Amino acid sequence: TFPAGRANVLLNLGLGLTNETGAMLRVVSGSEVEGFKMIGDFCYNPEDVRPVYFVARLSQAAPTFGAWKKMPKYQGAEASWTKYDDAYKPYPGFRQEIAGDNIGAYFSYDMPQGGVIEVKVGISYTSIENARLNLETEQPGFDFEATRHNAYQAWNELLGRITLKGGTPEDKTIFYTALYHLLLHPNILQDINGDYRAMESGAVKNTGGGNRYTVFSLWDTYRNVHPFLSLVYPDLQLGMVHSMVEMYNESGWMPKWELLGMETGVMVGDPATPVIADTWLRGLKDFDVKTAYDAARKAAVQRQDNELRPGLLYYDSLGYIPENSKAGVWGTVSTTLEYNISDWNLAQLAKALGKNEDYQRFLRRSYSYRNYFDLQTGMLRPRIEDGSWLSPFDPEAGKNFEPVIGFVEGNAWQYRFYVPHDIKGLKSLLGGDDAFFQALTACFDTGNYDMANEPDITYPYLFNYIPGKEQYTAQTVRRLMRQYYFNAPEGLPGNDDTGTLSAWLLFSMMGFYPDCPGDMDFALSSPVFDEVTIQLDPKYYPGKALTIEAVNAKGDKNLLIDKVEWNGKRYKSYFISHQELVKGGRLRVFLK
- Looking at beta carbons, which pairs linking 46-49 to residues 24 or more positions away fall under 8 Å? 46/19, 48/262, 48/264, 49/20
Tell me if 122 sits within 8 A of 139, measured CB to CB: yes
pLDDT recorded at residue 261: 96
The confidence score (pLDDT) of residue 43 equals 67
pLDDT at 46: 63
Please give the pLDDT value at position 446. Answer: 96
Q: Which residues of the chain have pLDDT under 50?
A: none
**pLDDT score for 206:** 99
Strands (E), 135-218: 162-165, 187-188, 195-197, 204-206, 213-214, 216-217
Domain boundaries, the chain: 5-142, 157-591
Task: State residue 76's pLDDT score.
Answer: 83
pLDDT at position 304: 93
The pLDDT of residue 45 is: 66
Q: Say if CB 498 and CB 186 are below 8 A apart.
A: yes
Span 5-142 CATH architecture: Distorted Sandwich (2.70)
What pLDDT score was predicted for residue 263?
Answer: 95
Is the link from the previous residue into 395 a cis peptide, with omega within 30 of 0?
A: no
- The pLDDT, as a whole number, for residue 324 is 83
148-205, pLDDT tens digit by residue? 999 999 999 999 999 999 999 999 999 999 999 999 999 999 999 999 999 999 999 9
Query: Tell me, what's the pLDDT at 213?
Result: 99
**Burial of residue 326, with CB atoms counted within 10 A of its CB: 0-12 exposed, 13-18 middle, 19 or more buried:** exposed
Residue 381: the pLDDT is 98
Torsion of CA 316, 321, 324, 326, to 10 degrees: 40
- Does 5-142 match 157-591 in CATH topology? no
Q: Given 3.90.45.10, 3.40.50.720, 3.40.50.300, 3.30.2080.10, which CATH number is that of 157-591? A: 3.30.2080.10
Q: Where are the beta strands (DSSP E) in 19-154?
A: 23-29, 32-40, 49-58, 64-70, 88-92, 98-100, 103-111, 119-124
